[in-house]
Structure 1
Amino acid sequence: MKRIVVGTRKSPLALTQTEMVMAKLQEHHTGLEIGMEKIVTKGDRILDVTLSKVGGKGLFIKEIEQAMYEKKIDFAVHSLKDMPTEMPEGLMLAAITEREDPRDVVITRNGSTFADLPIGARVGTSSLRRAAQLLNARPDIEIVSVRGNINTRIAKLEELQLDAIVLAAAGLERMGWAEKISERLSTELCIPAVGQGALAIQCRSEDEEIREILSVLDDVNTRRTVTAERTVLGRLNGGCQIPIGAFAELEGGELKLTGIVGSADGLTLLKETATGTDPMALGHAVAERLIEKGAGEILAKVREEISQ
């Protein structure tokens, strides 16, 4: 069997995720050789500015996609939550892996829960989505911008004397660090990022042999739920740096989808839930309801604040 090459970011989590994908592919395809190309993205280079200020969609994937166009790599492994809702021409999502725990978690210095943090607690996150929801629940807390890979952010807990940091459960689990989690935040309190917990396997649309090799990684149920979520994001014209969250789960044969849009200060938080069987129709319905409630105005204001 031929040798193929996968592209990935250089962060410890990205490398771990890519190695997991490589191992799964080799389980299914005996004798498959896979090389790895480590690529530095714009999002990795600029660490002294909050993600929302860096701007643009696809901060962690553009350079990897370029390597695919130039045929330096055959496919790429991304965190689905980093992926814009529209694919560039000539590229496609060949597979979306089975989702791990999609929730956000808090790591606190003394192991306490989010509700038990002291008044005025300093909470580290670079995500406007997390900030909006946490401030809505606890207006007394102070949000401190924290960037970098998981190791860096955990270290900032002590360095910056923070009371807590907020991360994705899936990343910590993949790194084998689940024991560091103080609390998994319920989706009632904090709706996750679109696609959080799933990996996106991207390749060139024309490359049928690669598509066939990668197809074994595709999880039908995860694809349905994240399609509903990504439809909300696409309709609201949001990137991963805007305070939008969406979370879908299967209940029987039906999908239950909740979408949120918040102001960066947490004072306004719009939330809509609906059920249905067609992921795209459901995503559109939830997005339209959010728009009717004023989501467009909130997001326009956030974008204006970011650009200043």
Structure 2
Amino acid sequence: MKKTLRIATRKSPLALWQAEFVKAQLEAAHPGLEITLLPMSTQGDKILDVPLAKIGGKGLFTKELEERMMAGDADIAVHSLKDVPMSLPEGFELGAILERHAPTDAFVSNLYAQFDDLPQGAVLGTSSLRRKAQLMAVRPDLDVRDLRGNVGTRLGKLDAGEYDAIVLATSGLQRLGLDERIRHEIAPEICLPAVTQGTLGIEYFAKDHATLDLIKVLNHPASHIRAVAERAMNHRLEGGCQVPIGVFAELDATEQNITIRGLVGRLDGSEILRAHIQGRASDAKLLGTQLAEQLLAQGAKAILDEVYASGLTKG
């Protein structure tokens, strides 16, 4: 078995936390294994003055990490799975999907205790078109503005008074020890999560069996099934991580049955298409695809075509 492992990671505080978390898990599973981190910036980290959906493209947060692996400098890359394109470059695979952390969105404000308390015309910050569409569907009076940067930067803008409230991933705040900034978690019934939100994935070279032997111990079967279902729906819709698509898969207590909820929304929240499906967990991929077909039958393609026609990118 290999004695060393090199992890390519983005160098934002959250990405480094995620890489350190995986490092600790692997060291616990394989005593004596030496692991080093290779932090770097990706295109998504460098371009902060343009909405993510405008620069989009496949691998916005992953391409540079994969190039580092192809150059032989790294063995694996740790990703927030929601940032990983539905189709990986040839030769790459996901070797492990870790146990899912909180999948919800968090309401953060210094002025208001919960989303419902926002006054008419309040300024709400989010980098996500998925959140914008769903929250504007409930509150079309809000002034929703783009919010970029790492978690600390976004909180700083809130604290500077640029926004009345902002919405961030619950898992990101919790991982950084910022639980106290969460005023409340927004229920999936109000804001359905992004594809695999709260889940970490480990990417590796498909032919590198020695590395797979090391990382597969971290694969969490239930989270893996949920991820397969959610990614299958998104793949059929040809959606990237920046478009107004939400999906949430849940297993029952036996972990033998799965329920998947999905939606596609117009950017202004004026129309939200919703669907759900249930079945055997072993059919997760098929069910995810069938859920997408339900949304397409309702008119999802026309909505997504309109989104892309506005200048947003696929992938």
The normalised TM-score by structure 2 is 0.96
8 Å CA contact retained: 1:127, 1:241: yes
How far off is 1:32 after superposition?
0.4
Using the alignment, how far apart are the partners of 2:309 and 2:161 within structure 1? Answer: 29
Aligned to 1:255: 258
8 Å CA contact retained: 1:103, 1:185: yes
Deviations, residues 91-116 of structure 1 (Å, cap 9, x unaligned): 11000000011000110122410011
Aligned to 2:182: 181
Using the alignment, how far apart are the partners of 1:213 and 1:227 within structure 2? Answer: 22
Deviations, residues 179-212 of structure 1 (Å, cap 9, x unaligned): 1101100000000000100101000000001000
Using the alignment, how far apart are the partners of 1:188 and 1:28 within structure 2? Answer: 37
Using the alignment, how far apart are the partners of 2:43 and 2:142 within structure 1? Answer: 31
Aligned to 2:311: 306
**Runs (5+) with no aligned partner, structure 2:** none
Aligned to 1:287: 292
**Runs (5+) with no aligned partner, structure 1:** none
Aligned to 2:120: 119
Using the alignment, how far apart are the partners of 2:201 and 2:276 within structure 1? Answer: 25
Question: Secondary structure of 1:241's match?
Answer: coil
Tell me the number of residue pairs that the alignment of Structure 1 and Structure 2 aligns: 308
Question: Secondary structure of 1:306's match?
Answer: coil
Give the letter for the 1:268 counterpart. E
How far off is 1:161 after superposition?
2.7
How far off is 1:87 after superposition?
1.5
How far off is 1:27 after superposition?
0.3
Give structure 1 regions of 4+ aligned residues with deviation exceeding 3 angstroms: none
- Aligned pairs for 1:260-279 (under 5 A) are 260-277=263-280, 278-279=283-284
How far off is 1:307 after superposition?
4.8
Deviations, residues 124-176 of structure 1 (Å, cap 9, x unaligned): 00110000000001111111100010000111113353111000011111101
Aligned-residue RMSD, C-alpha: 1.1
Aligned to 2:30: 29
Give the letter for the 2:270 counterpart. L
Give the letter for the 1:256 counterpart. T
8 Å CA contact retained: 1:195, 1:230: yes
The normalised TM-score by structure 1 is 0.98
8 Å CA contact retained: 1:57, 1:240: no
Aligned to 2:87: 86
Using the alignment, how far apart are the partners of 2:111 and 2:225 within structure 1? Answer: 38
Change (3 A) 1:49 1:160: farther
Give the letter for the 2:114 counterpart. T
Using the alignment, how far apart are the partners of 2:147 and 2:9 within structure 1? Answer: 23
Give the letter for the 1:294 counterpart. G
How far off is 1:122 after superposition?
0.7
Using the alignment, how far apart are the partners of 2:64 and 2:23 within structure 1? Answer: 21
